Amino acid sequence: MNENQFDIRIENTSLYYGSASVFKQITHYFASKAVTSVIGPSGTGKSTLLRTFNRMNDRIEGFRATGDVWVGGQNIYEEDIDVYALRQSVGIVFQKPCVFPKSIYENVIFGIKRLQPERKKEFADLTEQALRKVSLWTEVKDRLNEPGLSLSQGQQQRLALARTLISKPDILLMDEPTSSLDPRSARAIEDLILSLKENHTIVLVTHNIGQAKRVSDETIFVCNGEICESGPAEKLLENPCCQETRDYLNQGR
Amino acid sequence: MSRFADIDFFHWATFAMALLSMTLGVGIVAYLFWEGGPFIWNHGAQFLMGLDWFPDEEYGAAPMIFGSAAVTFLALVFSTPLALASAIYTSEFLDPRQRLTVKGIMEILAGVPGIVYGLLGVSLLSVWIRDVFNLVDGYTLLSASFLLAIMILPTIMTLSEDAIHSTPAEYRQAASGLGLSKMEILFSVALPHATPGIAGAILLAIGRAMGETIAVMLVIGGLDRVPEPWYDVFSSGQSIASKLGREAAETLGFGEHWSALMALALILFFLVMFLTAFGNWLIKGFRK
């Protein structure tokens, strides 16, 4: 198996906050152009792991990563990495939809307006493409200049996704993207995840086992600073082999 | 039975105190109107535009209005860039403990009595200004402006810092996730978010500068005239507040001179009240 065909590979990676370690020597190859869901008890560092892949943890005092973290062919914790370019090719969507107090259009182009100002002429087209990808275009095409905050929570989350997709990232990180949404909006996001995996490698942190079953191809279960178990989502969620996984899955029933 | 009587008494007693406080506030405004209003009404433009002030002959407020506007404007010009730069540095680059230390010091400075600044102005600032610019004495509009700039610096700095620092973490996180650098986040997320708060801080500072009496009085020179040419900041001048401070004791609380001073006080009151109310509204309104 050629390791370069994986968009995200971690090898002997340890993550620390100060002297406390969050993960010890974990290794995993994330399936490309597929959805990998990360599940596990609260406080085990699922978000920390996710945010390692676009170095969003850099902002946190005391955070440290050792070992190799390969993302899109680069070992991203090496010194000469352009973190800002990395974050454009590794998009992230957070738990709570975050829409800036600006128009819908300004929200979609928020990043590229500042990072790729030379492409100004394409912005209108790119906006349409991005909004179509998140199935928001027909809903908002006549009101692009209205405030982004006038949209519903579910629409706001799709808007946030469009804002990320406009810079055409290969990888999408999703940190419990539906946990603050109503069930219908959550379903809409799940449908999007399924349609986006054709062209994107997606890592999804979720507490919702049903969601993990519905959208993911692979699942990893993290607990006590390690990856206890990983494998095809269906097998791991239906028939886990590790005791911790079984206990965790049983809690929800 | 007696328990209810107690509550009744408490209710009425606190109501009476609240009413008294309100009455005092409203009474002061009414008194200002009563004492100063007719003078403005009767003399109008002659009072507001008049260039000379000779008690019992003529009362022209223009030099004082000009003086207040000039020193306040210059104080802002000197103070704002410095205050904003320090606010940005404190909010964005200091760790939480250092930040609180800096803010603590700024809040102490904001509370230093005007007379203390005034004394420093007399003993240091006006001497430096005299020597640096080769003047006869250092009591000038420029000295008052510098002193006010120092006095309003902590107000602008600490309130602007609050505004910048209150930018929701989610906004910063979202922008950072899109690949924006710290600098870009500052300019396209934090500062736009903080703009109303910064504007409010500046308005409150203007209010403070306009109302400052003793410090300005000690260094402004006390000359009731609009400089010739008007932009000559090395000339002595007078602000509304310093005029009031200097002459209030000369009058006996009645007569035309007194009414003219009360008219000045009325103008000052309205300027400061408007600025403070609007400034507070901006600061509180945007935090919601």
Contact list in A for residue B95 (CB cut-off 8 A) is 61
CA distance A216 to chain B (A): 23
- Report the SS3 class of residue A67: strand
Pick the residue of B95, B171, B178 with the most A CBs within 10 A to test the interface with A by mutation.
Answer: B178
pLDDT tens for residues A145-174? 999 999 999 999 999 999 999 999 999 999
Model confidence at A178: pLDDT above 70? yes
**Cα dist. B215→A15, B139, B251, B261 in Å?**
57, 12, 22, 19
Of B170, B178, B193, the CB nearest to A110: B178
What residues does A11 pair with on adjacent strands? A68
pLDDT tens for residues A42-63? 888 999 999 999 999 988 889 9
Please report the pLDDT score of residue A249 as a whole number: 86
- Tell me whether B251 touches chain A (CB under 8 Å): no
Q: What letter does residue A31 receive in the DSSP assignment? A: P
> Per the domain annotation, does B20 fall within a domain?
no
**Cα dist. A82→B208, B237, B272 in Å?**
47, 57, 51
Contact list in A for residue B171 (CB cut-off 8 A) is 98, 100
Mean pLDDT of A76-85: 92
- Tell me whether A100 touches chain B (CB under 8 Å): yes
Split into its structural domains, chain B has a count of 1
C-alpha to C-alpha distance for A169 and A119, rounded to whole angstroms = 17
Band of pLDDT at residue A94, cut at 50, 70 and 90: very high
Q: Residue B54 sits in which domain range? A: 49-285
DSSP string, A88-147: HHEEEE-SS----SSBHHHHHTHHHHHH-GGGGGGHHHHHHHHHHHTT-HHHHTT-TTSB
Residues of chain B with pLDDT under 70: 1-5, 286-288
- A115/B180 CB distance under 8 A: yes
> Per the domain annotation, does B5 fall within a domain?
no
Of A92, A96, A101, the CB nearest to B177: A92
**pTM of this prediction?**
0.87
pLDDT tens for residues A188-230? 999 999 999 999 999 999 999 999 999 999 999 998 889 999 9
> Per the domain annotation, does B4 fall within a domain?
no
Q: Please name the residue that has the structure tokens 């009455």.
A: B23
Please report the pLDDT score of residue B102 as a whole number: 96
Please report the pLDDT score of residue B60 as a whole number: 93
> Per the domain annotation, does B149 fall within a domain?
yes
- Report the SS3 class of residue A5: helix
pLDDT tens for residues B95-140? 999 999 999 999 999 999 999 999 999 999 999 999 999 999 999 9
> Per the domain annotation, does B15 fall within a domain?
no
C-alpha to C-alpha distance for A206 and A216, rounded to whole angstroms = 11
Strand order of the β-sheet with A20-30 is A20-30, A8-17, A63-71, A74-75
CA distance B194 to chain A (A): 12
Q: Find the helix packing angle between A123-133 and A153-165, rounded to 10°.
A: 130
Mean model confidence pLDDT for chain A: 91
Q: What percent of chain A has pLDDT over 70?
A: 97
Which B-chain residues 76-105 have CB contacts (< 8 A) with chain A?
A: 95
> Per the domain annotation, does B7 fall within a domain?
no
CATH number at residue B90: 1.10.3720.10
> Per the domain annotation, does B11 fall within a domain?
no
List chain A domain ranges.
3-251
Q: What is the ipTM metric for this complex?
A: 0.90
Please report the pLDDT score of residue B9 as a whole number: 86
Give the other-Cβ count within 10 Å of B18's Cβ: 10
- B178/A88 CB distance under 8 A: yes
- Tell me whether A94 touches chain B (CB under 8 Å): yes
pLDDT tens for residues A123-151? 999 999 999 999 999 999 999 999 999 99
Which listed CATH number (3.40.605.10, 3.40.50.620, 3.20.20.70, 3.40.50.300) goes with A3-251? Answer: 3.40.50.300
Q: What's the CA angle centered on A122, arms A120 and A123, to 5 degrees?
A: 70
- Report the SS3 class of residue A1: coil
Mean pLDDT of A57-75: 91
